Amino acid sequence: MVQMQLDLASETRKTCHTCGMQYIPSNAEDAALHKKFHAMNLGGVDFTKAVVERFRKNEVWSGGGGSFIAVVGRKDGLPLRNRASDVLKVVNTELAAVPISDEELWSQTNSAATAPVSERETLAKDETTLPLFDRFKVYLYFQGNKCIGACLAERIWEAYSVLAPTAPSGQTSKLPVAQQSSSISINNQSDPAMLGISRIWTSNQHRKKGIATRLLDCASSDFLYGLKIDKDKVAFSQPTESGGNLARKWFSSQSGWHVYMD
């Protein structure tokens, strides 16, 4: 037997501190993939001019310099939904969020699907008469040929109020959030809610410019046709530290705003 190859050293995997991607620098394909993802993470997700113009047909807000926000939902064409899914892949990677399948992303839901267990059986009996809603809509913020912000909004029916840290322990439960954030205290009893903010993201180079708050404003005013959803009916999914700070800023309060279980 003759040894034809020598394994001198194992390839070292590196984690980029800026974009969070793990890759092997010595692997040309891996390095090229990281370079592409790094650029998207910092400056935004690139699209051709033709694709951006398709998104512009779904415009729900326009700003200076040609910037605009477009909404993509279940009824939109497959090409547009696929491009929205591409942005969400970047968002999920940066936020370390669980991916959502396209089948689930573009599905419909009603109150029976997300009701408390104690009420689900009763609602299920009348499920055929309950109205269906698009479960998710994606709001994308464009500047030039780049998408530099995104908000994934979800139809929900209940959420839990965030309590001040000094609230009596008998009235609270602890909600664990992402690893980079400490836990927050929530009320044990749920309140009615309508809109859930499942994911929200702004590319690294465009933060602190009001993009995220603009996306939240658009989602609350556009998600349900002809109805502007009050902030007390809007809830965040278990927020990261930066997500919690955004929520406090948007709600103008350290507590009293809502979170929901996704």
Give the residue, 71 or 95, on which the prediction is more confident: 71
Beta strands 234-237 and 195-202, pairing class? parallel
Give the pLDDT confidence of 116-152 residue by residue, as tens digits: 545 545 545 555 567 888 999 999 999 999 999 999 9
40 is a domain residue: yes
Is 22 or 243 the better-scoring residue by pLDDT?
243
Instruction: Write the pLDDT tens digit of every residue in 77-118.
Output: 999 999 999 999 989 888 888 999 999 999 998 876 555 545
pLDDT digits (tens, 9 = 90+) for 177-191: 433 344 688 899 999
On whether residue 129 sits in a domain, the answer given is no
Number of domain units in the chain: 1
Contact 173, 243 (CB under 8 A): no
* Residue 64, domain CATH: 3.40.630
Q: Which residue has better confidence, 111 or 254?
A: 254
- Please state, for a pLDDT cut of 70, what percent of the chain lies above it: 79
Residue 238 belongs to a domain: no
Task: Report yes or no on 17 lying in a domain.
Answer: no
Asked if the structure places residue 46 within a domain, the reply is: yes
Q: Kindly state whether residue 178 falls inside one of the protein's structural domains.
A: no
Residue 52 lies in a domain: yes
User: What confidence score (pLDDT) does residue 167 get?
Assistant: 43
Q: What residues make up the domain containing 94?
A: 29-108+135-150+198-219
Instruction: Give me 60's structure tokens.
Output: 């729900």
Greater model confidence, 3 or 149: 149
In a domain, 44, yes or no: yes
